[in-house]
Amino acid sequence: MVNTTFWGGVDLQAPMFFFTGAEGGDITRVVGAYGHVLEMAERMQGLVVMMESRFFGISLPFGRQDSYKSAVDRVGLLSVEQVLLDYVEIITAIHVEFDPGWQCPSIAFGGSLAGTQAAMMRFKYPNIIDMSFASSAPLHGFPTPGFKAAAWRKRVTDTWVELATKQHGCPVFGLVQRAFAGFENADPDAVKEVFNTCEAPYHGNNWDARDEFWAQIESQGTYGYPWSTSAIPQLCELALYASELPTAKDLDIAAAFLQDSIGCLNLTASRERENSPDSKGWDFLACTEIVHPIGANNDTDFFPPSPWSVEATAEECRGKWNATPRDAGLWIPKTFGFGALNESPHGDLSSWASHVIFSYGELDPWAVFRVGSKNLSQTLPVMLIPGGSHCADMAGRRDDDTQAMFEARQLQEDILRQWVKDAKKRLAPQAKLVV
């Protein structure tokens, strides 16, 4: 998708913004999550290009049925390096059409995996991308020495505790633990009744209902900026009320956390979402290259114990895809030169990389995998936004934005404006000496 509405053209060397799409899928749907960039593009007279990743959205090279066949010439063609090369081709084609002299600065942007890919584009193809804006990019989310598999879910848990317990006095930690326990050995008829499922009782519906509950807990702890409007306090109060009823069971507590659901709980739709192309694409990448160590211990977090290891991941992925994590999950940090690898002399990005903005929300679980807590260099700024959630800074301006978010977005724009100004000087046509 190409938006030239605001573009100032080659004569002004107006910048070009390129979205490095990833697991978000359909770019016609995700474009709304990047209002901040669209607003900046308007003010900076920029052209905006939304690029969809191969194997996601409608970009299925072999159709919906065959693209995810477990074969090297089907899903095996889904890799980060191939996605980046696709983007090199698209960006080159855009310049050929609109800016054949390559006088206009190119900016890669994205959030989450798309943010990681935006940074990678600058790292690997500095001749193509002049600067990048990477939000919530978990570049250190790999099984490098000293990784903590429980850190991601600890942050989710801490967010719930901070909003429900510390601010509202609701004992959410214990309530969520009891809720999870309620799914163990739950009778199918009880699950049908308590959760008002759209389906008749069936064996295993307790685990499908638990998946819905689990997803709700993680989603509320990952998104929801601004936290003044978060549903967490209300959900905890509903669960607390359910726990105090004379006939209360742990399953009733779990159902209370899902009371904002409308109508019956559709477990069939949940399973279908897991089998969607976008879900399959993320699952395959998580088995091969984007190997994030995420587990749970039920001690620093309130999730059921879920140990994580490369070996267990490899065994599961071998069964799903006949594939295992590349280089024991370290292929990405080794190839792109980041990740605090003891054997890599180039783990310090500031020694060789430049012109990437890294931003993270303070309450985002993906921020536990951030590149650092302070600026890596003058051209590698790192922002940790107080009260921010996953990719919240990429969204457009809203009336209830916090002052911290307003200031972060303004700083991001100020930095990009200066970098664009510097790049224009470098890219401007040079006068030829006539003898």
DSSP annotation of 395 reads: S
Q: Can you give the pLDDT of all 435 residues of the chain as single tens digits?
A: 999 999 999 999 999 999 999 999 999 999 999 999 999 999 999 999 999 999 999 999 999 889 999 999 999 999 999 999 999 999 999 999 999 999 999 999 999 999 999 999 999 999 999 999 999 999 999 999 889 999 999 999 999 999 999 888 999 999 999 999 999 999 999 999 999 999 999 999 999 999 999 999 999 999 989 988 999 999 999 999 999 999 999 999 999 998 765 689 999 988 888 888 889 999 999 999 999 999 999 999 999 999 999 999 999 999 999 999 999 999 999 888 876 554 444 457 888 899 999 999 999 999 999 999 999 999 999 999 999 999 999 999 999 999 999 999 999 999 999 999 999 999 998 755 566
End-to-end CA, the chain: 46
Q: What is the pTM of this model?
A: 0.94
- Residue 350 backbone dihedrals phi, psi, to 5 degrees: -65, -15
Pairing of strands 2-3, 47-51: antiparallel
Q: Which fold has domain 143-329?
A: Four Helix Bundle (Hemerythrin (Met), subunit A) (1.20.120)
> Dihedrals φ, ψ of 48, to 5°?
-120, 130
Cα-to-chain-centroid distance, residue 26: 15
Fold of 2-139+331-427: Rossmann fold (3.40.50)
In the chain, where the domains are located: 2-139+331-427, 143-329
Taking CA atoms, 329 is separated from 68, 156, 336, 420, in Å, by: 21, 24, 13, 36
Q: Please, are residues 357 and 133 in contact by the beta-carbon 8 Å criterion?
A: yes
Alpha-carbon distance of 304 to 298, in angstroms, equals: 5
Sheet holding 47-51, edge to edge: 2-3, 47-51, 16-20, 106-111, 131-135, 356-361, 382-385
Q: What are phi and psi of 19, to 5 degrees?
A: -80, 120
Alpha-helix runs per DSSP H in 326-394: 331-336
Residue 298 forms beta bridges with which residues?
A: none
Q: 155 with 363: CB under 8 angstroms?
A: yes
